[in-house]
Amino acid sequence: MRWKRRRLLWRAWRARHKLTLQQDGGPQIPDQGVLAFVVLRNEAARLPYFLDHYRKMGVAHFLVVDNGSDDGSVEMLSAAPDVTLWHTRASYREARFGLDWLGWLLIRYGHGRWCLTVDADELLVYTGMKEHGLGALTRQLEQKGRRGFGALMLDIYPKGPLGAQDYAPGQDPSTVLPWFDPGPYRAQRQDPMGNLWVQGGARERVFFADRPERSPTLNKIPLIRWNRRYVYVNSTHSLLPPSLNRLYDGPGGAAPSGVLLHTKFLPEIIVKSREEKTRQQHFHTPEQFDSYYDQIGAAPDMWHDGSERYTGPERLVEIGLMRPL
């Protein structure tokens, strides 16, 4: 595992040559506060609420890699005083789905800081978040000797055919996607890294019922007090050194955790799925997932009798999908 970690860190070091900084004179990143790291492409519809959500939670600065947006995302991010923006048109897939780019930024700017690594369609929630922001959360984690904070990625979805809803930029996505699957979810540890593998939920039920082994991985460890020797291996699902993977033990586990509300199924999902099927950038073997994109393009209704309406983090604690500190 030590050599694997070194190889991945070397990839991140080399990836710096693929990034072009938007600002002149270098980024103006504050010395204190949680830093957010994001790779995105064409997320203009999500960005207003995404940025507002994390600003209210106490993110001090956003370090964003734009991978060729042409929908106004670049202009929006460039105008934000708390965003430092890099550009690249290099292959997302060949950069380990953006991890090489983020790996370099975490090495360069994240060492010794609390760092939140999320996608633009992920909204972190946890108990007490309205009263206690990320600063208080990270202080509590430090007091308990914890180096990070895990989360279940929870798909939220509408009632009715996908794509039939209305969404305005800046609107809370959970008002358009108010439903989720309370279960079932299953978890197991994987060798040799000891990382958790959580599957189940809505996407498995709707799109992978006949091949559940291919359903999406739902465990993430997005919030870490970073060290330049750390590296993400597979999205934020797993890390090296292996001990970091023990920070999260899944739904029903004893470790404090949150939930990442996954807003993938906003109305633009139909168009985006057709585009991603063509681009072939999001999976290790993308041709195996063509039918997944085709099923989304058919605009199914993901709601069923077991769906539950999202009412806030407290309910997620009650049903065991997250655990308070």
- pLDDT computed for residue 291 by the predictor: 85
pLDDT in tens, 150-180: 999 999 999 999 999 999 999 999 999 999 9
The answer to whether the beta carbons of residues 325 and 194 sit under 8 Å apart is no
CA–CA separation, 84 vs 65, rounded Å? 9
Coil, strand or helix at 8: helix
| Mean pLDDT, the chain, integer | 95
Element (H, E) at 109: helix 99-109
Q: Which residue has the higher pLDDT, 278 or 192?
A: 192
The answer to whether the beta carbons of residues 270 and 172 sit under 8 Å apart is no
Lowest mean pLDDT segment, chosen from 16-25, 200-209, 219-228, 245-254: 16-25
Lowest mean pLDDT segment, chosen from 29-43, 118-132, 231-245, 265-279: 265-279
- pLDDT computed for residue 275 by the predictor: 80
Query: pLDDT band at residue 23, thresholds of 50, 70 and 90?
Result: confident
- pLDDT computed for residue 283 by the predictor: 57
- pLDDT computed for residue 18 by the predictor: 98
pLDDT in tens, 285-315: 656 667 888 999 999 999 999 999 999 999 9
- pLDDT computed for residue 302 by the predictor: 98
The answer to whether the beta carbons of residues 132 and 144 sit under 8 Å apart is no
The answer to whether the beta carbons of residues 129 and 56 sit under 8 Å apart is no
- pTM greater than the 0.75 cutoff: yes
